Structure 1
C-alpha cells in the first residue's frame, strides 16, 4: 500500500509518499481499498505541527486524514453484514492518507445509492463539524438568525445546508465574488462578499438585533466582532483559527502567530452572564470517544443525502502523490467546496 507520512513538522515537502505493508484487519475491523480521501484544513495544521490532538494522540511520524471512501476489501472476525466489494465510507482518527486502511466496523457506513466514492469521502468531517456546531452546541431553532463565516468552504457549505434544513434565516460570508453563488444555491438568504462590502456594517444592516448563532473558524480576524454581533441569548461556535495561519509558504509565521495569540479575545465570564451570550468551542478529533453523538449524526446526514435534502459540496480531486498541491490550494483560501485525494493507480 501507499501512504503519506509526515516525519516532523514543516512545509509541503514533509508530505512523503511511501510504500507500507498492507494492514490486516483485526477482529471487529474492515479493511478498505481506498478510492478517495477527504482533505481538511486540520490536515494542514497537523503538517505544521500545531494540531493539538495529533501531538497528544499520535506524535511523529504521522499519516493525516479523517475520512475515506472505497470498497470493503476484507472483513475481520465478528463483523456481520459486510462483505468484500461493498461500497463504504469511514471515519478515521488520522491515518486516512493511504491506499488501504483498517477501521473499526462501527466507524464505517454504506455509501448511499447514487453517490460515488468521491462524493461520499467529502461528507463526514464537514457535515459532522457543522452538525455538532449547530445542533449539539448551539441548539439551533427554526426562525433563528445564523451567520456562517467561510460559507463557500467545506464546513461552511455544509452549515448553510443544515441551517436551511432547520428553517433558520442564513447570512453567508464569503471572501470574494466568485464564491457568492454557492451558498445562495445551498439555501443562504443573504451573502456578504468581504472583498466588496464592509462585513460588519452589512451584517448589522441585515440583522440589527444581532444573530442568534454565529459559526466562526477564523480566529482573531473576526472573533471579537462575531461576539459583539450576537443577539441576547446568542451563541458563538468556534472551530478553527484560520487567519492566524499562513496562506502561502506552508510554514507558520511565529511572530504573527504570537501577535495574533496576544490579540485573540478573552471572554469574561461576568460579561457573558450580564450579556446573556455563550461562547462554545470544540474539536471533533477530541470527540472520537463520543460515538453516541457522532455516529447517529452521521446516519442522519447520510439519510439526508439519500433523500436529496443535503448534497455533497463541489469537488476538486488531486492524486495522492500531489497531496502537497492540495494543501497549498487549501491554505490559499481560494478554493470552494471540498478537496479530495485519490490514491495513484
Structure 2
C-alpha cells in the first residue's frame, strides 16, 4: 500500500510518500481499499505539529487523515456483516491518507445510495463536527438564531443545513463574495460577506437582540466579538482556531502565533455566570472511540441524507500525488465545500 507520511512538523515538503506491506486486520477490524480520502483543515494543523491529539495518540512520523471511502479489502475473524468488495465509507483517528485504511468495524458504514465515493469521503468529518456542536452541545430550540462563521466551508455548510432541520434561523458569515451564493444554497437566511461589509455591524442588523448560538472556528480574530454578540442566555461553541494559522507558506508564524495566543480571550466562570452565557468546545478526534455517540450521530445523519434533508458539500478532487496542492488550497481560505484526494 502507499501512504502519505509526515516525518516531522513543517511545510508542504513534509508530505512524503512511502510504500508499505498491505495490512492484516485484527479480529474486529476492517481493511478498506480507499477510492477517495477527505482533506480537512485539521490535517494541515497536524502537518504543522500543532494538533494536540496527534501528539497524544501518534507522535512522529504520522499519516494524517480522518475520513475515507472505498471497498472492503479484508475483514477480521469476528466481522460477519461485511465482506470484500462491499462499498463503504468511514472515519479514522489519523492514518486516512493511505491507499488502504484499517479501522475498527464500528467506524465503517455502508455507502449511501445518494453519494458517490468522493462525496462520501467528504461527508463524515464535517457533518459529525456540525452535529456534535449543534445537537450535543448547543441544543438550540426552534426559532433560535444561529451565527455560523465560515459558512461556505465544509463544517459551516453542514451547520447551516442542520440548523434548518432544528428549525432555527441561520446567519452565515463568508470571507469572499464568490461564497455568498454557496451559503444561501445551503440554507442561510442571511449571508454576511465580511469582505464587503463590516461583520459585526451586519451581525447586529441581522439579530439586534443577539444570537442564541454562535459557532466559531476562527479563534482569536472573532472570538471576543462572537461572545459579545450572544443573546442572554446564549452559547458560544468553538471547534477551531484557524485565524491563528497561515494563509500561505504552510508554516506557522511563531511570533504571530504567540501574539494571538496572548490575545485569545480567557473566560472567567464568574463572568460567565453573571453574563448568563456558556462557552463550549470540543475536538472530534477524541470522540471516535465513543461508539454510542458515533452510532447515534451517524444514524441520524444518514437518515436525514436518505430523506433528502441534507446534501453533501460540493467536492473538489485532487490526485493523491497532489496532496501538497490540496493543503495549499485549503489553507488559502478560498475554497468552497470539501477537498478530496483520489488515489
Which band: TM-score by shorter chain? over 0.9
Equivalent residue for 1:279? 279
Alignment of 1:294-333 (within 5 A): 294-333=294-333
Shift of 1:59: 0.3
Alignment of 1:150-299 (within 5 A): 150-299=150-299
Equivalent residue for 2:114? 114
Shift of 1:291: 1.9
Equivalent residue for 2:136? 136
Q: Distance in 1 between the 2:189 and 2:164 partners? A: 9
Between 1:128-137 and 1:107-116, the stretch displaced more is: 107-116
Q: Distance in 1 between the 2:102 and 2:167 partners? A: 39
Give per-residue Cα distances to partners, 1:215-244, cap 9 Å, x unaligned: 000011000000000000100000000000
Please say if residues 92 and 288 of structure 2, whose CA atoms lie closer than 8 Å, have aligned partners that are also in contact: no
Equivalent position SS for 2:31: strand
Q: Distance in 2 between the 1:270 and 1:102 partners? A: 46
Give per-residue Cα distances to partners, 1:223-272, cap 9 Å, x unaligned: 00000000001000000000000000000000000000010011121111
* Alignment pair present for 1:55 and 2:55: yes
Q: Distance in 2 between the 1:32 and 1:294 partners? A: 19
Between 1:322-331 and 1:289-298, the stretch displaced more is: 289-298
Equivalent position SS for 1:13: helix
Shift of 1:170: 0.3
Shift of 1:42: 0.3
Q: 4+ residue runs of structure 1 moved beyond 3 angstroms?
A: none
Q: Distance in 2 between the 1:118 and 1:288 partners? A: 21
Please say if residues 107 and 288 of structure 2, whose CA atoms lie closer than 8 Å, have aligned partners that are also in contact: no
Shift of 1:174: 0.1
Between 1:61-70 and 1:296-305, the stretch displaced more is: 296-305
Give per-residue Cα distances to partners, 1:122-144, cap 9 Å, x unaligned: 11100010000001000111110
Equivalent position SS for 2:98: coil
Q: Distance in 1 between the 2:234 and 2:153 partners? A: 23
Equivalent residue for 2:36? 36
TM-score (norm 2): 0.99
Shift of 1:28: 1.0
Q: Distance in 1 between the 2:68 and 2:215 partners? A: 26
* Alignment pair present for 1:336 and 2:329: no
Equivalent residue for 1:19? 19
Q: Distance in 2 between the 1:47 and 1:79 partners? A: 33
Gaps of 5+ in 2: none
Q: Distance in 1 between the 2:340 and 2:33 partners? A: 16
Q: Distance in 2 between the 1:216 and 1:306 partners? A: 28
- State the aligned residue count: 343
Give per-residue Cα distances to partners, 1:18-61, cap 9 Å, x unaligned: 11111111101111110000000000000000000000110000
Between 1:267-276 and 1:213-222, the stretch displaced more is: 267-276
Q: Distance in 2 between the 1:224 and 1:100 partners? A: 43
Q: Distance in 1 between the 2:76 and 2:242 partners? A: 39
| RMSD between superposed Cα atoms in Å | 0.7
Q: Distance in 2 between the 1:293 and 1:139 partners? A: 15
Q: Distance in 1 between the 2:252 and 2:114 partners? A: 41
Shift of 1:114: 2.8
